[in-house]
Amino acid sequence: MQDFASTALFVLVYLAFIIASRHGWERKAIGLFPQRDERHEARIAFLRIRDGVEQYLFVQTITGLMVASLSFVAMAAVGLHDALFWAFLIFLAVYIPVAGGVFAGCAPPLFALVQFDGYGRAVILFAALQLIGVVIGNVVYPRMQGRSLNLDPVMILLSLAFWSAIWGLTGAFLSTPLTVMAMVILAQFDGSRWIAVILSADGDPQQLKNKRPNEPPDEKLPSPAKNRIAKLAKLTGRRAKSS
Average pLDDT over the chain, rounded to an integer: 76
Q: What is the pLDDT of residue 234?
A: 55
Q: How many CB atoms lie within 10 A of CB 211?
A: 19
Q: What is the pLDDT of residue 219?
A: 44
**Average pLDDT score over residue span 208-212:** 45
Rounded CA Rg of the chain: 23
Look at residue 237 and tell me whether its pLDDT is greater than 60.
no
The pLDDT tens digits for 114-123 are 988 888 899 9
Whole-Å CA distances, 139 to 55, 92, 104, 130, 199: 17, 20, 17, 14, 24
The Cβ-side half-sphere exposure at 54, using a 13 Å CA radius, reads 15
Residue 20 vs residue 191, higher pLDDT: 191
> Lowest-pLDDT range, 4-13, 15-24, 186-195, 208-217?
208-217
Fill in the amino acid letter for 160: L
Q: Is 120 exposed, middle or buried (0-12, 13-18, 19+ CB in 10 A)?
A: exposed
Name the pTM for this structure: 0.67
Comparing CA positions, the residue from 171, 188, 71 lying closest to residue 129 is: 71
Look at residue 209 and tell me whether its pLDDT is greater than 50.
no
229 band by pLDDT with thresholds 50, 70 and 90: very low
What CA–CA distance (Å, rounded) separates 151 from 176? 9
The pLDDT tens digits for 181-191 are 888 888 877 78
Q: What is the pLDDT of residue 86?
A: 92
Q: What is the pLDDT of residue 123?
A: 92
- Residues in Cβ contact with 101 at an 8 Å cutoff, skipping those fewer than 6 apart: 93, 94, 133, 137
Q: What is the pLDDT of residue 170?
A: 79
The Cβ-side half-sphere exposure at 160, using a 13 Å CA radius, reads 14
> Lowest-pLDDT range, 49-53, 91-95, 129-133?
49-53
Judge whether 52 and 180 are in contact, CB under 8 Å.
Answer: yes
What CA–CA distance (Å, rounded) separates 140 from 134? 9
Judge whether 51 and 148 are in contact, CB under 8 Å.
Answer: yes
Q: Is 52 exposed, middle or buried (0-12, 13-18, 19+ CB in 10 A)?
A: buried
22 band by pLDDT with thresholds 50, 70 and 90: low
Q: What is the pLDDT of residue 208?
A: 45
The pLDDT tens digits for 35-89 are 777 777 777 777 777 777 777 888 888 888 999 999 999 999 999 998 998 998 8
**β partners of residue 151:** 200
Q: What is the pLDDT of residue 178?
A: 84
Residue 240 vs residue 116, higher pLDDT: 116
The pLDDT tens digits for 142-168 are 777 655 567 777 888 888 888 888 888
213 band by pLDDT with thresholds 50, 70 and 90: very low
